[in-house]
Structure 1
Amino acid sequence: MIPFVDLKTQYASIKPEVDAAIQRTLETCLFTLGDEVAAFEKEFAAYSQAAFGAGVNTGTSALHLGLLAAGIGPGDEVITSPFTFVATVAAIYYTGATPVLVDIDPATYTIDPAQIEAAITPATKAIIPIHLYGQPADMDPIIAIARKHGLTVLEDACQAHGAEYKGKRVGAIGDMAAFSFYPGKNLGAYGEGGMLTTDNAKHNRAVRMLRDWGAERRYHHELKGYNYRLEGLQGSVLRVKLRYLDLWTERRRAIAARYDTMFAGTGLPTPFVRSDVRHVYHIYAIRTPDRASWQEALNTQGIQSGIHYPIPVHLLPAYADLGYRQGQFPHAERAAAEVLSLPMFAEFTEQQQDVVVAAVKELQASV
């Protein structure tokens, strides 16, 4: 079986360092926040070219608290894309605000800046551009629109650790950015984890309070907060893995480039990459209208694949109350019906990739 992601092989490659880091945490017994989390916050913020980092328990929590720090609440509207993991929209709901959706650019799958301004109303307070699959959204026009209308920009960078837009790291382009350290991410914890990065000291203070029951001192609750703290064990693991992130990212980029080269001339739609970004390839997604049969055929040959994401948010039953209808976001809907994610992880061998490519080429040749 060729896995979609191989966390066991990754762990084996760094086992002595990870085990030692975990042992340190076990010995200090600092299991919630603590020194390892504090150190990781500083290291990851610096890596993301941001002044501050606040560790939380999930990327979803980072989105939620970022919106709250910006003052988003009931009666407000937040603009984002329907082609995303459901957490992006769920976080908006958590604040009591209303998600307002805008279609994607059909080439990059990120929010189409040309459609944002038409969606702005007097209730609009923020924009959440999603750096989907590891490719940054087109941030310059998004920032310009936000500044024109006095809106907060909260980057959903949950799939884009280390990605760059015009030479600047995501995480320090908008007012704030949310990252996820779910195990399968480019930088993944051994459990759940997230981070909110920002250059704004007030936003950082608010998030740090909100994640810990709204208090800076124990039992002195200034805000109505949450139990969103990052665990010490996750901080210790993530510190080790952060040291390898650029190495792993370059491996992903090399694997993606090899995919591109090997699929050249087949007519297969492969990822479009903007010339002014550093794509970090959390996902390598091809497209086919025959996705179900292709995925079944690959699975039969022992090749795992994924779908990110099969249903755009506006067509999910849980979010029918948004009031959108099928056909309203045609680019998102078509992408959701056709994208197929191929194996992509830093430890992926050329021999494994050769098997995957040969199988996909055979399927494409039969179209």
Structure 2
Amino acid sequence: MTIQQTVQPTVDLAMFGGGRAVPRKLGIRPWPMVTDQDEQAVHRVLRSGRFTSASSGEQEITGLEREWARHVGTEHCVAVSNGTAALSVALGAAGVEPGDEVIVPALSFIGSAAAPLHLMAVPVFVDIDPVTFNLDPAAVEAAITGRTKAIVVVHLHGLPAELDEITAIADRHGITVVEDAAQAHGARYRGRSVGSFGAVNAFSLNVSKNLATCGEGGLITTDDADVATRATMLRQFGELIPAGGERSYVAHLLGWNCKPNAVQAAFTRSRLARLPAETAVREENVRRLLGRLAAYPGFLVPEVPRDRTHAWHILRIRVSPAAFGLADAYAGPLRAVVQRALRAEGVPAVPYQLQPLPAQRVFTGRRGFGAYPWALPGVVDRPYRAEDFPATLRVLDDSFTIQKAHLHPESGPLLDRYADAFEKVWQHREALAAIAATTDYTPHWERASEIADTEWAGAFPAR
């Protein structure tokens, strides 16, 4: 190990007994922020007595669908109960069937891979680009087989994936592209909104999202009228619900009960009116934070290509062992020590996902519908192994995230103090590198396996 020589800091790190860089009074503001207009929108629904998409004459859900389609630039939008339901319904409406293969990035939220499994389709995982954290187009093409039906293109953390390359690959092979834009509200790729490129696309309105509701919700966008009709049927028992008149209760196909809630739709409509202004302020606040962090070589901040915009739902920061005077093998322990130091200073640095999706027990243990879909005739039995996704493993090992704290438009002063904390940590890089070089360390994905064993044993003790 070679430690860089630095000027001796005059202020101790908080983890060594010094004061915090982030004053406790600068707490994270509640998200989503609730305004008088939001409350009035909710009261409007309560007075109407119409609460779901099955309520004759309901206006809030249809209003949200119309306004989101206009915002994204698609012909149709279908609202559902949550973001994972949006992805499941979208895949079903696109014609994904049992035994089909669906390509999914190895780094994402579990919903991206659970959605195809709910249709008894087989998730096929591919590695990510370590700079964008999104699907690697070359890995996508290499994973395509004669059974591949769809590609779930996740815009992770709010940065659009390589849509032109991936859609070109899909077109060559006759495969459906489904955008998972759960974290990317308002992001644009080459002048167009995400959620307008795929044959059918999904957004989440979870309370944590940039465009949130007061709980859960989801939106599906498409330019295909038939896909929109099928999605509407799938969200409510396979029924065709007339705009007016009586409900027939005839199930034309197997559907779910994924009806949206009118209260939550009204809340989101109110928030949608503020989305462009909030996005602009967030861009300014986050860019200022990342601009300061970029001055410290030990921290690798997100890169945004010139042809797209970032929604900044989550901020992922990687550490550079070389800049701390360490060999590359110390990336994991260095990240752990830096993360600990930042948290002591008041920065809520946390992991986002502890393991690649293919390492989740639901896949490694084939815990779907019994042994299905993997036991279906013709399905290729592929192993799900974390080590097959080296870029994902490296990103999980050497990075941490900041979540929610930066979403509020008035978070600027808080982010300025976060930047102070990063500067303070960088000034103490020699001491932190020394700790990283001697600390016991277990990678995220191994710890996650240990946690899973403990949780399972506690829930289902041996009898």
Q: TM-score, normalised by structure 1?
A: 0.95
- Find out whether 1:275 has 2:297 as its counterpart: no
Which of residues 86, 108, 121 is equivalent to 1:84? 108
Q: For 1:195-214, what aligned pairs fall within 5 Å after superposition?
A: 195-214=219-238
Runs of 4 or more, structure 1, over 6 Å off, are: none
The CA distance in 1 between the partners of 2:339 and 2:258, in whole Å, is 37
- Find out whether 1:27 has 2:58 as its counterpart: no
The CA distance in 2 between the partners of 1:149 and 1:211, in whole Å, is 29
Query: What's 1:128 paired with?
Result: 152
Residues 309 and 339 in structure 1, CA contact (< 8 A), matched pair in contact too:
no
Query: What's 2:66 paired with?
Result: 42
The CA distance in 2 between the partners of 1:363 and 1:45, in whole Å, is 45
- TM superposition shift of 1:287: 1.3
Residues 88 and 119 in structure 2, CA contact (< 8 A), matched pair in contact too:
yes
The CA distance in 1 between the partners of 2:123 and 2:177, in whole Å, is 14
Amino acid in structure 1 at the alignment position of 2:111: A
- TM superposition shift of 1:184: 1.1
Structure 2 unaligned residues grouped into runs of 5+ = 1-23, 242-246, 320-330, 367-381, 434-463
Which of residues 264, 271, 276 is equivalent to 1:241? 271
- Find out whether 1:353 has 2:415 as its counterpart: yes
The CA distance in 2 between the partners of 1:313 and 1:364, in whole Å, is 32
Aligned length: 363
- TM superposition shift of 1:101: 1.1
- TM superposition shift of 1:95: 0.6
The CA distance in 2 between the partners of 1:109 and 1:196, in whole Å, is 23
The CA distance in 2 between the partners of 1:254 and 1:149, in whole Å, is 41
The CA distance in 2 between the partners of 1:291 and 1:264, in whole Å, is 17
The CA distance in 2 between the partners of 1:299 and 1:324, in whole Å, is 33
The CA distance in 2 between the partners of 1:102 and 1:334, in whole Å, is 14
The CA distance in 2 between the partners of 1:45 and 1:352, in whole Å, is 34
Query: What's 1:304 paired with?
Result: 348
Residues 342 and 425 in structure 2, CA contact (< 8 A), matched pair in contact too:
no
Q: For 1:276-355, what aligned pairs fall within 5 Å after superposition?
A: 276-288=307-319, 289=331, 290-320=334-364, 321=366, 323-342=383-402, 343-355=405-417
Q: TM-score, normalised by structure 2?
A: 0.76
Residue 225 of structure 1 aligns to a residue whose secondary structure is coil
- TM superposition shift of 1:179: 0.1
Amino acid in structure 2 at the alignment position of 1:133: H
Residue 83 of structure 1 aligns to a residue whose secondary structure is coil
Residue 145 of structure 2 aligns to a residue whose secondary structure is coil
Closer/same/farther in 2, CA of residues 77 and 3 from structure 1, 3 Å limit = farther
Residues 90 and 200 in structure 2, CA contact (< 8 A), matched pair in contact too:
yes
Residues 311 and 337 in structure 1, CA contact (< 8 A), matched pair in contact too:
no
RMSD: 1.6
Query: Higher mean Cα deviation, 312-321 or 151-160?
Result: 312-321
Q: For 1:93-108, what aligned pairs fall within 5 Å after superposition?
A: 93-108=117-132
- Find out whether 1:254 has 2:284 as its counterpart: yes
Amino acid in structure 2 at the alignment position of 1:306: V
- TM superposition shift of 1:255: 1.5
Query: Higher mean Cα deviation, 313-322 or 113-122?
Result: 313-322
Residue 69 of structure 2 aligns to a residue whose secondary structure is helix
The CA distance in 1 between the partners of 2:351 and 2:278, in whole Å, is 22
Amino acid in structure 2 at the alignment position of 1:235: A
Structure 1 unaligned residues grouped into runs of 5+ = none
Amino acid in structure 2 at the alignment position of 1:276: D
Identity over aligned pairs, percent? 35
- Find out whether 1:191 has 2:215 as its counterpart: yes
Query: Higher mean Cα deviation, 296-305 or 261-270?
Result: 296-305
The CA distance in 2 between the partners of 1:241 and 1:84, in whole Å, is 26
- TM superposition shift of 1:3: 5.0
- TM superposition shift of 1:84: 0.2
The CA distance in 2 between the partners of 1:158 and 1:364, in whole Å, is 33
- TM superposition shift of 1:306: 3.2
Residue 273 of structure 1 aligns to a residue whose secondary structure is coil
The CA distance in 1 between the partners of 2:29 and 2:97, in whole Å, is 38
